């Protein structure tokens, strides 16, 4: 089936099998490798991308379901001049990653969370990321990163000078 959609701001048209999953379309047809296939069972969130601005697990969306719609991956958050988005920058500054496998999904889930709730509490951040697993268990700095992106941490806190965000 021929699908037409926008991927990271660029219009595309591709012939795809109906059973092709969106994550495989992005990785193998578009060559965008940020979204990872982790659990492949709608659990871990490593494949999270934005569909019309909202977070979805691209292992559980068919590419044909994205026909006529807009998809954003972590690559698409970076400006043309290489400037990272506020969420990406906050993950970098707060060391919101360890091995990095879950990171693109975390960043996309956080981007969607902050679009829906620009001023979240720490509890809302934790609940808002419940669909994303970090098997390094690095949640502490991930939550800090999202709060920093929301402007909820002072500069000193954001730089890690403390006080600690409660676990």
Partner 1 sequence: MIPATFDYEVADSAAHALSLLAEHGEDAKLLAGGHSLLPMMKVRLAQPAVLVDIARVGELSGIRSEGNQLVIGATTRHADVAGSDLVRAEVPLLAYAAGQVGDPQIRHRGTIGGSLAHADPSADLPMTLLALGGSVEITGPAGVRTVAADDFFVGPFETALSPDELLSAVRVPRGGDVPWGYQKFVRRANDWAIVGVAAYDGRVALANMGGTPLRALAVEEALRGGASAAEAAAHAADGTSPGYDFHADTDYRKHLARVLTKRALQGETG
**Footprint on this chain of partner 1 (rule: CB under 8 A):** 1, 17-19, 21, 40-43, 45, 48, 51, 54-57, 60-62, 64-65, 109, 112-113, 128, 130-132
Instruction: Name the residue nearer to partner 1 (CB basis): 25 or 158.
Output: 25
CB of 115 to partner 1, least distance (A): 11
CB of 160 to partner 1, least distance (A): 26
Instruction: Name the residue nearer to partner 1 (CB basis): 33 or 127.
Output: 127
**Token pair for 9:** 């701001």
DSSP E strands, 16-111:
48-51, 54-57, 70-72
Measure Cα distances from 13 to 7, 33, 120, 125, 161 in Å. 10, 19, 37, 36, 49
* Crossing angle of helices 103-116 and 139-149, rounded to 10°: 40
Instruction: Name the residue nearer to partner 1 (CB basis): 72 or 112.
Output: 112
């Amino acid at each position: 089936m021929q699908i037409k959609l926008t991927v990271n701001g660029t219009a595309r048209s591709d012939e795809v099998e109906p059973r092709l999953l969106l994550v495989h379309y992005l990785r193998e047809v578009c060559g965008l490798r940020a979204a990872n296939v982790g659990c492949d069972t709608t659990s871990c969130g490593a494949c999270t991308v934005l569909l019309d601005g909202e977070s979805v697990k691209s292992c559980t969306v068919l590419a044909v379901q994205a026909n006529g719609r807009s998809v954003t991956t972590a690559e698409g958050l970076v400006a043309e001049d290489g400037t990272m988005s506020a969420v990406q920058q906050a993950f970098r500054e707060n060391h919101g990653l360890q091995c990095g496998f879950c990171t693109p999904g975390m960043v996309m889930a956080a981007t969607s969370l902050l679009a829906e709730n620009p001023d979240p509490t720490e509890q809302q951040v934790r609940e808002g990321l419940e669909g994303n697993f970090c098997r390094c268990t690095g949640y502490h700095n991930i939550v800090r990163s999202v709060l920093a992106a929301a402007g909820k941490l002072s500069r000193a806190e954001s730089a890690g000078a403390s006080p600690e965000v409660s676990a």
